[in-house]
Amino acid sequence: MQVVKGTVIQGKIVLSQGSLPEGAEVGVFVTHEEGTVRLSALLQKELESALEEADQEEGISAEELFAELRKFG
């Protein structure tokens, strides 16, 4: 699984970077300006740190993740 950002243009999602393979299943999380979340300075710093750490991780594909989970039942 990977997280990508995009914008809806003429009813279609246009990715900010890269592309996804044809037929890829996706989930969509919609953000709204009026629903802005405000964090304390400490929580904001922790979130930014976690996002930076996640960006540096190579990660594995969803298929690899499910194969690993199947080992546990």
Question: Is 1 domain-assigned?
Answer: no
d(CA 34, CA 26) in angstroms, rounded, equals 25
- Range(s) of the domain holding residue 34: 6-70
pLDDT of residue 7: 87
- pLDDT for res 59: 80
Q: What is the pLDDT of residue 43?
A: 92
Q: Would residue 56 count as lying in a domain?
A: yes
Residue 10: alpha-carbon gap to chain centroid: 22
Choose among 24, 36, 26, 23: nearest CA to 5.
26
Structural domain includes residue 27: yes
Total domain count for the chain?
1
Within a domain: 39: yes
Note whether residue 28 is domain-resident: yes
> pLDDT per position in the chain (73 positions), as tens?
677 888 889 998 889 888 888 888 888 877 766 667 788 999 999 998 988 888 787 788 888 889 989 998 7
Contacts by 5-8, CB closer than 8 A, 24 or more apart: none
> What pLDDT is recorded for position 34?
67
CA 34, 52, 50, 21 dihedral sign is positive
